[in-house]
Amino acid sequence: MFPRGAGPSPAGAGLPALRSHNAALVLDLLRAAGGDGISRPELAERTGLTPQAVSKITARLRDEGLAAEAGRRPSTGGKPRTVLRLVPSAGHAIGLHLDRDELTAVLLDLAGETVAYETRPLDLGADAEAVVEAVVEAAVDAAADRVRAVSDSGGSGDVDGPGGFGSSGGSAGSGGSAGSGERAAGIGRVLGVGVAMPGPLDHARGVPGRVTGFPQWDGYPLRDVLARRLGLPVVLDKDTNAAALGLALREPRESREPGRSRGSSGAGGAFAYLHLGTGLGAGLVLGGALYRGARTAAGEFGHQVVQLDGPVCECGDRGCIEALCLAAVARGDLTEAARVLGVGAANLVGLLDVDRVLLGGRVVAGAEEVFVRGVGEALAARTGVAAEAAAGGVRLVAEGAAQLVLAPVFGRAEAVPARLADSADLVFPVFPADLASPVFPADLASPADKV
Ligand SMILES: [Zn+2]
């Protein structure tokens, strides 16, 4: 179990440096520099902070184990400069992708690399309590795996490559073999849990809406329930938004570095991510930032009517693109599914003038060529935009979910365009309100008690 006062900590409670906006800028540059590292003068130049401020911040980051020296580098004329690097193992985020029939969990390190992952069956149609149990178990297993990895490597915290959380179904037992102290020590550096599921949902309140085919989720306070059970900050977002955020953060680093894109049309540009799996939806990145809409209801792509008086959709309407597309998939006619998807994609490009259309989701992953070609043809007929398969494969959504937690640590809460983040009069909180104030009632039962 998590010892009271040690386990349920707000994100970065043990890492105060994570609460400063300027520290986030420095961390982002350290992350971008990778293993080569970056010197303090370079950090000052790139952030616009004074050398004294940079020294203070880097000292704090080193004290907290977030940054380390990465050797010395000759500098032009002067004495060699010490370079600093991010310590990826200093913090982790859990990402959970709740699909209608399976749950994918990933553990990302601070650098955004996946260190462990697992997919297990899930019935999103079961009652909420049963689903919450399964989700809590997957999150605790993800954190427990981290503990095993730390112990195995003599406490260095480094993990070689991704691995599973252990065998599916038996993992609760294996997780239980770790001592309670060990588990608490591991989860202490888990900054939070990002949860992605089919929309619609209210991201700001962390409450799902009328998920097609799963009415029991409408209005259920999923984020707060999970935060209570896990004792960790939880962020809830649509699967499509999580994927789009993950994709936006994969943009070439040079286009995301502060200063580089000042005055340009925005780092990351504009793209639409179309997700075809057990449902159909879209994630939108406009001007380099994830676009959720005024009521976090943007991207409800699947329920646009493309055939008046068409077949009945599970949402109650007729002729929705999701209904037509899924029906074609069910018939095994993927060419037709791609053609239908292409019509919707062309509508979207016509409406928003995005630069790119990225395709993902389980159905697309199973026949990438068919979908890229079919959607590409529909786009070419009406727009100048191409269709591409989204990078990231089947873990894209889960990794994007973890990025909902990690991105704010680096000042990229909403994949904020660098030119906005640079502006002196705009201060972005390192942690959005819903991350900074998770719910910890006094009568909280430890999550580990329940598994
Ligand atoms: Zn519909």
Which comes out higher in pLDDT, residue 224 or 159?
224
Per-residue confidence (pLDDT) for residue 21, from 0 to 100: 86
Check pLDDT > 50 for residue 437. no
C-alpha of residue 359 to centroid of ligand 1, in Å: 20
Are 323 and 341 spatial neighbours (Cβ–Cβ below 8 Å)? no
Query: What is the pLDDT, as a whole number, of residue 177?
Result: 34
Q: What spacing in Å lies between the alpha carbon of 349 and ligand 1's midpoint?
A: 20
Place of tokens 């080569």: 36
Which pLDDT band, with edges at 50, 70 and 90, does 237 fall under? very high
Q: Rounded to the nearest whole angstrom, what is the distance from the C-alpha of residue 388 to the centroid of ligand 1?
A: 25
- Cα 215 to ligand 1 centroid, rounded to whole Å: 14
CA 75 to ligand 1 centroid distance, Å: 61
Residue from 18, 89, 76 nearest 42 by CA: 76
- Residues 42-54 have pLDDT tens digits of 999 999 999 999 9
106-165 confidence digits (pLDDT tens) = 999 999 999 889 999 999 999 999 999 999 999 998 887 654 453 344 333 333 334 445
CA–centroid distance, 314 to ligand 1, in Å, is: 6
Report whether 240 contacts 282 (CB < 8 A): yes
Higher pLDDT, 192 or 21: 192
Q: Cα of 315 to ligand 1 centre, how many Å?
A: 4
The architecture CATH gives domain 251-390? 2-Layer Sandwich (3.30)
Instruction: Give the 3-state secondary structure of residue 77.
Output: coil
Better-scored residue on pLDDT, 213 or 9: 213
* Residue 33 pLDDT: 92
List, for residues 80-101, the tens digit of each pLDDT value: 889 999 999 999 999 999 999 9
**Is the alpha carbon torsion for 110, 111, 116, 122 positive or negative?**
positive
Going from the Cα of 269 to the center of ligand 1, the distance in angstroms, rounded, reads: 29
% of the chain surpassing 90 pLDDT: 61
Return the domain boundaries, the chain: 251-390
Quick one: what percent of the chain has pLDDT higher than 70?
A: 73
Tokens describing residue 301: 């792509």
Q: pTM, whole model, 2 decimals?
A: 0.79
CA of 307 to the centre of ligand 1 (A): 11
Q: Are 313 and 323 in contact (CB under 8 A)?
A: yes
Using one digit for the tens of pLDDT, what is the confidence trace for 325-358?
Answer: 999 999 999 999 999 999 999 999 999 999 999 9
Q: How confident is the model at residue 450 (pLDDT cuts 50, 70, 90)?
A: very low
pLDDT in tens, 353-399: 999 999 999 999 999 999 999 999 999 999 999 999 999 888 999 99
175 CA from centroid of ligand 1 (Å): 41
Tokens at 450, concatenated? 């329940």
- Ligand 1 centroid from CA 318, angstroms: 7
Residue 235: phi and psi, rounded to 5, are -120, 135
292-319 CB burial, b ≥16 within 10 A, e <16: beeebebbbbbbbebeeebeebbbeeeb
Q: Which of 158 and 186 is assigned the larger pLDDT?
A: 186
* Ligand 1 center from residue 383 Cα (angstroms): 25
DSSP 214: B
Q: How many A from CA of 312 to the centre of ligand 1? A: 8
Average pLDDT over residues 281-306: 93
User: For residue 145, what pLDDT is reported?
Assistant: 66
Residue 167 has pLDDT above 60, yes or no: no
265 pLDDT tier (thresholds 50, 70, 90): very low
- Interatomic CA distance for residues 46 and 49, integer angstroms: 8
| Coil, strand or helix at 73 | strand
167: Cα within 13 Å, side-chain hemisphere? 4
CA of 154 to the centre of ligand 1 (A): 53
Please provide the distance, in angstroms rounded to a whole number, between the alpha carbons at the two ends of the chain.
Answer: 10
Predicted local confidence at residue 146, as pLDDT = 55
What pLDDT, on a 0 to 100 scale, did the predictor assign at position 75?
A: 74
Calculate how far, in angstroms, residue 212's C-alpha sits from the geometric centre of ligand 1: 8
- Between 262 and 10, the more confident residue is 10
Residue 188: pLDDT over 60: no
Q: How far apart are CA 437 and CA 432, in angstroms?
A: 9
Q: What's the CA-to-centroid distance between 402 and ligand 1, angstroms? A: 29
Give 302 Cα–ligand 1 centroid separation in angstroms: 6
Indicate the pLDDT class of residue 17, thresholds 50, 70 and 90: low
Q: Which of 394, 193, 178 minimizes the C-alpha distance to 275?
A: 394
Mean pLDDT estimate for the chain: 79
pLDDT above 80: residue 8: no
| Ligand 1 centroid to residue 239 C-alpha, Å | 17
Q: What is the whole-number distance in angstroms between the Cα of residue 306 and the centre of ligand 1?
A: 10
The pLDDT value given to residue 264: 31
Strand partners, 116: 107, 163
